[in-house]
Structure 1
Amino acid sequence: MTTPTLLNWAVLGTGVIANEMASALAGMGRSLYGVCNRTYEKASVFAEKYGVKQVYPTYDALFSDPNVDVIYITTPHNTHYSFIKTALEHKKHVLAEKSITLNSRELEELTVLAREKNLVFAEAMTIWHMPLYKKLWELTEGGNLGRVQMITANFGSFKDYDMKNRFFNRSLAGGALLDIGVYALSAIRSFMEETPDQILSQMLPAPTGVDEQATILLKNKKGQMATAALSLHSKQPKRMMISCENAYIEIMEYPRADEAVITDAVTGKRTVIHEGNTADALKYELLDMESAVLNGERSVMKLDETRDVMAMMTALRKEWGLTYPEEE
Structure 2
Amino acid sequence: MATIKWGIIGLGDIAQSFADSFNSEQAELAAVASRSLQKAQEFAERHHVPKAYGHYEALCFDPEIDIIYLATPNSHHAENIKMVLNAGKHVLCEKAMVMSAAEFKEVHELAKDKNLIIAEAMTIYHMPLYKQLKSRIKSREFGQLKMVNAMFGSLKEADPNNRFFNKELGGGALLDIGVYALSFVRFFLSSQPTELQTMAKLYETGVDEMSTIQMRNEHNELSSVSLSFRGKMPKQGVIVCEEAYITVLDYPRADKAVITYADGRTEIVEDGDSASALSYEIDALTQTLLEVENLSFIDLTRDVTNLMDQSEKLWGMDLTK
TM-score range, shorter chain: over 0.9
Once the two structures are TM-superposed, the CA of residue 146 in structure 1 deviates from its matched residue by 1.0
Once the two structures are TM-superposed, the CA of residue 281 in structure 1 deviates from its matched residue by 0.1
Match of 1:24 in 2: 21
Match of 1:152 in 2: 149
Once the two structures are TM-superposed, the CA of residue 38 in structure 1 deviates from its matched residue by 2.0
Q: Which whole-Å CA distance do the structure 2 matches of 1:126 and 1:110 have between them?
A: 21
Residue 79, structure 1, aligned to residue 76, structure 2: yes
**What letter is aligned with 1:307?**
R
Paired residues, number? 320
Q: 1:118 aligns with which of 115, 121, 124?
A: 115
Q: Which whole-Å CA distance do the structure 2 matches of 1:281 and 1:232 have between them?
A: 24
TM-score by length of 1: 0.95
CA contact (8 A) 1:238 1:254 kept: yes
Match of 1:287 in 2: 283
Q: Which whole-Å CA distance do the structure 1 matches of 2:70 and 2:144 have between them?
A: 37
Residue 46, structure 1, aligned to residue 21, structure 2: no
Q: Secondary structure of 2:93's partner?
A: strand
Match of 1:14 in 2: 11
**What letter is aligned with 2:210?**
Q
Match of 1:59 in 2: 56
Residue 322, structure 1, aligned to residue 282, structure 2: no
Once the two structures are TM-superposed, the CA of residue 275 in structure 1 deviates from its matched residue by 0.5
**What letter is aligned with 2:185?**
I
Q: CA RMSD in A?
A: 1.1
Match of 1:310 in 2: 305
Q: Secondary structure of 2:163's partner?
A: coil
Match of 1:171 in 2: 168
Once the two structures are TM-superposed, the CA of residue 5 in structure 1 deviates from its matched residue by 5.0
**What letter is aligned with 1:182?**
V
Match of 1:210 in 2: 207
TM-score by length of 2: 0.97
Once the two structures are TM-superposed, the CA of residue 31 in structure 1 deviates from its matched residue by 4.6
Once the two structures are TM-superposed, the CA of residue 296 in structure 1 deviates from its matched residue by 2.1
Once the two structures are TM-superposed, the CA of residue 278 in structure 1 deviates from its matched residue by 0.1
Q: Secondary structure of 1:214's partner?
A: strand
| Structure 1 gaps, min length 5 | none
Q: Which whole-Å CA distance do the structure 2 matches of 1:307 and 1:8 have between them?
A: 26
| Structure 2 gaps, min length 5 | none
Q: Which whole-Å CA distance do the structure 1 matches of 2:207 and 2:119 have between them?
A: 26
* Structure with the bigger percentage of strand: 2
Q: Secondary structure of 1:197's partner?
A: strand
State the Cα deviation string for residues 270-314 of structure 1 (Å, max 9, x = none). 11110000000000001110111111221x321001100000001
Q: Secondary structure of 2:164's partner?
A: coil
Q: Which whole-Å CA distance do the structure 1 matches of 2:146 and 2:245 have between them?
A: 10
CA contact (8 A) 1:22 1:31 kept: no
Q: Secondary structure of 2:211's partner?
A: strand
Once the two structures are TM-superposed, the CA of residue 222 in structure 1 deviates from its matched residue by 1.1
Q: Which whole-Å CA distance do the structure 2 matches of 1:172 and 1:255 have between them?
A: 22
Match of 2:220 in 1: 223
Q: Which whole-Å CA distance do the structure 2 matches of 1:301 and 1:202 have between them?
A: 31
State the Cα deviation string for residues 21-71 of structure 1 (Å, max 9, x = none). 11001x446652010112222111110000111111211211111111000
**What letter is aligned with 1:312?**
L
**What letter is aligned with 2:305?**
M
Q: Which whole-Å CA distance do the structure 2 matches of 1:46 and 1:78 have between them?
A: 23
Q: Which whole-Å CA distance do the structure 1 matches of 2:191 and 2:165 have between them?
A: 32
CA contact (8 A) 2:41 2:52 kept: yes
Point out 4+ residue stretches in structure 1 off by more than 4 angstroms: none
